[in-house]
Amino acid sequence: MPTPWLFGLLGGALIGGAAAILLLINGRVSGISGIFSGVLSPKRGDFAWRLVFVAGLIIGGALGFVFYPEAYHSTVERPLPIIALAGFLVGFGTRLGGGCTSGHGVCGISRFSLRSLVATVTFIGVGMLAVFILSLFVHGR
Amino acid sequence: MREIFVALFCGFLFGVGLLLSGMTLPQKVIGFLDVFGAWDPTLVFVMVGAIGVNGLAYVFIRRRQGPVVASTFHLPPKRPVDGKLLCGAALFGVGWALAGYCPGPALVSLASLQGDVTVFVIFMAAGIWVHNRLFPI
């Protein structure tokens, strides 16, 4: 992929723009784990926009699948039980911590929220430590 | 009804942003976390782009009485940093490092119909569901 940093910056700008529009028009924070949680544990009158937002994410993904398949050329191979454990930890952890990379990392830090800053530093720090420990046992990634 | 279209559009835009930025590739996320190995800085640029645009927009949005269509802003209440926040973020960090997916890119990647990410999303949903059972909102 040419100039990944430029793609990163552009993609990031789209993410930030989408989050800004959702807040400006609908008054909602673009925290993906929170939005998805509201789909799984629905509350009356607070369900449809969440379902449709998640559908939008997947439609965007499907568009990429057709026009930009490189975006799915994963080189990470993990045993399925590890993938399952990772998924469970991400789901449980993001809800316990009240947000993920989008809700805390993008939206929260944009609002100068101390909680979001602390959460972001924590999950990045622990993630770096985990990758380091993992690299002692597994060669390559 | 307008809110529904806006949510669909924003979800779509958000998904295209994640895709374009390379965040649907687990090796780029794990590469960012691999500071003692072959470090990949792409995620830093994604965060700079996202926080740059969103933070600038927020300066203007916060001056408004309310959102354009909905009746009020639904912002999380100001609370102190607590143990739940730290434990949750730490557990998320471990899961993030193990698979290289966070919730957004995982949901976007469902469209690729790959087995790994499908399993990841099913267990992510289970994790969320268990949390919501243990700590009802």
Cα–Cα distances (Å) from A128 to A71, A86, B32, B80, in that order, read 23, 15, 8, 25
Q: What mean pLDDT comes out for the span A43-61?
A: 96
B121 pLDDT more than 70 = yes
B1 touches chain A (CB under 8 A): no
Rounded to a whole number of angstroms, the distance from the CA of A23 to the nearest CA of chain B is 7
Instruction: Among A34-38, A74-78, A137-141, B61-65, name the one with the lowest average pLDDT.
Output: A137-141
- Report, as an integer, the average pLDDT of B41-54: 98
Domain ranges of chain A: 76-141
Nearest chain A alpha carbon to B103: A33
Supply the DSSP string of B99-114, one letter for each residue: HS--HHHHHHHGGGT-
Rounded to an integer, the average pLDDT of A57-82 is 94
Task: Decide if B29 contacts B100 (C-beta within 8 A).
Answer: yes
Residue in B68, B94, B116 nearest the CB of A24: B68
pLDDT tens for B63-106 read 999 999 999 999 998 899 999 999 999 999 999 999 999 999 99
Q: What percent of chain B has pLDDT over 90?
A: 94
CA distance A19 to chain B (A): 7
- Chain A contact set for B28 (CB, 8 A): 4
Q: What is the mean pLDDT of chain A?
A: 94
Tell me how close the Cα of B77 comes to any Cα of chain A, in angstroms: 10
CB-based contact B96:A119 (threshold 8 Å): no
pLDDT tens-digit series, residues A4-31? 899 999 999 999 999 999 999 999 999 9
- Tell me if chain A has a CB within 8 Å of the CB of B3: yes
Interface test with B, best of A29, A36, A83 (most B CBs within 10 A): A83
pLDDT given at position A3: 87
Chain B: nearest CA to A103, how far in angstroms?
10
The dihedral through the CA atoms of B9, A119, B101, A43 has a sign that is negative
Helix A80-96, helix A32-40: angle, nearest 10: 100
Which pLDDT value is given to residue A141? Answer: 46
**Residue B74 φ then ψ, to 5°:** -105, 80
Going by the DSSP 8-state scheme, the letter that residue B24 receives in this structure is T
Q: Phi then psi for A28, rounded to 5 degrees?
A: -115, 145
